[in-house]
Amino acid sequence: AFLYVNFSGFTDIAIGSGWMFNLKLTENFHFPLLSHSIQNFWQRWHLSLSKFITAYMFKPMLRRTGKPALSLVVTFTLIGLWHNVSVGYFFWGVGHGAALALTMYYRGLKRPPLPMPMIVRRAGGIVITLTFVSLMSTIANQPSNRDLARYVASFVGVHL
């Protein structure tokens, strides 16, 4: 949440500063903390970068490979490494790309709708999405590979 508030605040300052010069800058966030799926998160988070990445990385790779899942994983892995060349950001990119690919696969399946109200599904989706995004961000931002290994090992009860 801190990253979002910080980043969104700077974006709002840039938008307001642009108004002083009669420049209209687009919004960069659309309530990402209300995202009900990982796909919905990326439709709401850092919109300017998402448009750029879609146009200049994902779509060309998709045209070349014809494989949307592979294109998603490779694109997000490169985005992660662009943020910081580290093991944590590598896993961040692979994780986000894989989550998007799995979402795409799941939505393509023919299945009956879940027998619960939409509001319950949305609320559950928000919790799951924000937990996943927070987990991946925590993995990406571990200060060292040793800290990353300790953090990941703690999930399975191993103490390093």
Which of 56, 55, 98 is closest to 76 using CA atoms?
98
Q: Which of 30, 36, 46, 83 is catalytic?
A: 83
User: DSSP assignment of 101-122, as one string?
Assistant: HHHHHHHHS--PPPSS-HHHHH
User: DSSP assignment of 15-82, as one string?
Assistant: HHHHHHTT--PPPS-S-GGG-SSHHHHHHHSSHHHHHHHIIIIIHHHHHHH--HHHHHHHHHHHHHHH
Query: Among this protein's residues, is 83 annotated catalytic?
Result: yes
Residue type, position 108, single letter:
G
Q: How far apart are CA 144 and CA 127, in angstroms?
A: 28
Collapsed DSSP state (helix, strand, coil) of residue 157? coil
Beta carbons of 69 and 105 less than 8 angstroms apart:
yes
**Residues tagged active-site:** 83
